[in-house]
Chains A and B, each alone.
Chain A
């Protein structure tokens, strides 16, 4: 089968299955809405988070405008936390471009998390709305492009629901308590991620940036973080991507061992060294700094950065973080062109 006849959806889903796709797909498992897309729709960023139709339209806009090979919804990191009783601040009243944050933490304990991990959870917060947005996207794009979504990893979600500082100290001082807490958190995440995959989402990223090696030692990662991440990988259907930004070279072998379908790394982790540590079979997506490539640099720089990712052997060109909405259209175009034109 010639790769040229594949849809963007097939290209992404085959890549996540470990098949070689040429050229590699240029897509993301995290947010990628642009100001250009928002302007065209006439929406403010803050309006997207609580409206299925607006979320769907904005989610499709980067695919429609540039041929970026994915639709990813939602755009914030609060979905599961809200379902667990936290209150989100969408910053509706400011005109600044701000990502929603949690303003009131529900501070659920391990026991409360276990109790919350029932199908009823899936009716709470914006989970039904996001499923509805996925349905609207599918109605429009059919099988042409894959629809992605994401959940937070156990430690990072813990930091949304509880204060982060005790969690960080707990990882060092009270590992058994933390293991229990993260295991309970994993139950919630498994439930939500499987629900997304059963209801129109084609692939799910698990974002565990709180446990990056800039923050936690490889020793703590192995002892405290790894078990619950592995549980998530074991119990969530495919395809899944484990995304951790920052520097993760010291733990990338453990990330691979978890068993997600793919790993996603950012520019702080050198691709060739990552590949050397986990081998050819591991699907690695990465690894550019979206702000440097798409917002501050020139189109030529964006082209070169994306081409370098391909040359370094990524299985898909993927940003290290959300694409910041004010990304320059000509840079996004250059990135996509580079991926098409560069072969290894």
Chain B
């Protein structure tokens, strides 16, 4: 059982490259080959598939890749993930959180939301996806039900982002500690301030980074609260 470093590197490269070039077959074969060795698939997911997706994110920021390329890469990633995930030995990565995500009512676009959701999924977050055209009060309901650390709201157009401040206000009233991220084409840092959200991100990789920062700060607050009690 197991594999030598050269083989491992070769498969990691195939997984990453396969995602970047959306070569579904290459990803499928490399993932299966890895599983067949009997080795833990944690590295295959994070140093293979996710590393590939990070490169896709870089190409997207550099405007070499666009939305269709991103979608194709995400499909390849999921093909690999479906094969690898059942064989991953769960571990405590330190930062794990619960996220409620959805596209606000009036907006039926969910591609950007789905890509962000994928990043959370692979990073080990517990994700509750409400879908698209989500009635505003449903975000609050789900947040209270799951006690999620983060709520992510998506809107594609100026004409549909106006539901966001209402959701933010509802959640702030009931649970001021919950972090709120907003995203989509019309969202700027200026809008984040005006709507009273906590953050936005220019793409899915940055969204994940922001989310991890939020979880870390939430954990700090919880630890402090715990310490004060003691």
The secondary-structure label for the interface of chain B is helix
Query: Which B residues lie within 8 Å of A326 (CB)?
Result: 162
Chain A residues numbered 73-125 whose CB sits less than 8 Å from any CB in chain B: 89, 91, 94, 96-99, 101-103
Is the pair B163, A96 in contact by a Cβ cutoff of 8 Å? yes
Q: Which of A209-217, A276-284, A303-311 contacts B (4 or more CB under 8 A)?
A: A209-217
Which of B66, B105, B186 touches A216 (beta carbons < 8 Å)? B66
Is the pair B72, A98 in contact by a Cβ cutoff of 8 Å? no
Is the pair B162, A292 in contact by a Cβ cutoff of 8 Å? no
B111 interface contact, C-beta 8 A: yes
A169 interface contact, C-beta 8 A: yes
A192 interface contact, C-beta 8 A: no
Given known A-B contacts A292-B190, A321-B158, A164 and B111 have beta carbons under 8 A apart: yes
Is the pair A165, B111 in contact by a Cβ cutoff of 8 Å? yes
Given known A-B contacts A98-B105, A101-B106, A164-B111, A324 and B71 have beta carbons under 8 A apart: no
Is the pair B109, A290 in contact by a Cβ cutoff of 8 Å? no
Query: Which A residues lie within 8 Å of B159 (CB)?
Result: 99, 321-322, 324
A274 interface contact, C-beta 8 A: no
B105 CB, nearest partner CB in chain A, Å: 6
Query: Which A residues lie within 8 Å of B105 (CB)?
Result: 91, 94, 96, 98
B192 CB, nearest partner CB in chain A, Å: 12
In the bound complex, how far is the Cα of B107 from the Cα of A165, in angstroms? 15
Chain A residues numbered 246-290 whose CB sits less than 8 Å from any CB in chain B: 246, 289-290
Chain B residues numbered 57-76 whose CB sits less than 8 Å from any CB in chain A: 63, 65-69, 71-72, 75
Is the pair A296, B160 in contact by a Cβ cutoff of 8 Å? no
A319 CB, nearest partner CB in chain B, Å: 9
A45 CB, nearest partner CB in chain B, Å: 11
In the bound complex, how far is the Cα of B109 from the Cα of A292, in angstroms? 22
In the bound complex, how far is the Cα of B161 from the Cα of A289, in angstroms? 14
Chain B residues numbered 181-202 whose CB sits less than 8 Å from any CB in chain A: 185-186, 190-191, 194
Is the pair A215, B67 in contact by a Cβ cutoff of 8 Å? yes
Of the listed residues A102, A171, A217, A220, the one surrounded by the most CB atoms of chain B closer than 10 A to its CB is A217
Query: Which A residues lie within 8 Å of B136 (CB)?
Result: 96
Of the listed residues A102, A171, A172, the one surrounded by the most CB atoms of chain B closer than 10 A to its CB is A172
B179 CB, nearest partner CB in chain A, Å: 23
Chain A residues numbered 140-178 whose CB sits less than 8 Å from any CB in chain B: 164-165, 168-169, 171-173
A43 interface contact, C-beta 8 A: no
Closest to A98 in B: B106
Chain A residues numbered 19-50 whose CB sits less than 8 Å from any CB in chain B: none
Query: Which B residues lie within 8 Å of A103 (CB)?
Result: 108, 133
Given known A-B contacts A98-B106, A217-B66, A290-B158, A165 and B186 have beta carbons under 8 A apart: no
In the bound complex, how far is the Cα of B98 from the Cα of A100, in angstroms? 32
Chain B residues numbered 38-85 whose CB sits less than 8 Å from any CB in chain A: 63, 65-69, 71-72, 75
In the bound complex, how far is the Cα of B109 from the Cα of A322, in angstroms? 18
Is the pair A96, B106 in contact by a Cβ cutoff of 8 Å? yes
Is the pair A91, B106 in contact by a Cβ cutoff of 8 Å? yes
Chain B residues numbered 141-183 whose CB sits less than 8 Å from any CB in chain A: 157-160, 162-163, 166
Known A98-B160, A213-B63; 19 more pairs at CB < 8 Å: A99-B160, A101-B107, A101-B108, A103-B108, A103-B133, A164-B111, A169-B75, A173-B68, A214-B66, A214-B185, A216-B66, A216-B68, A217-B65, A246-B185, A291-B158, A292-B190, A296-B191, A321-B159, A322-B159
Show 16 A/B contacts (Cβ-Cβ < 8 Å), sorted by A. A94-B105, A97-B162, A99-B159, A103-B133, A165-B111, A173-B72, A214-B185, A215-B66, A217-B65, A217-B68, A290-B158, A291-B158, A291-B186, A321-B159, A322-B158, A324-B159
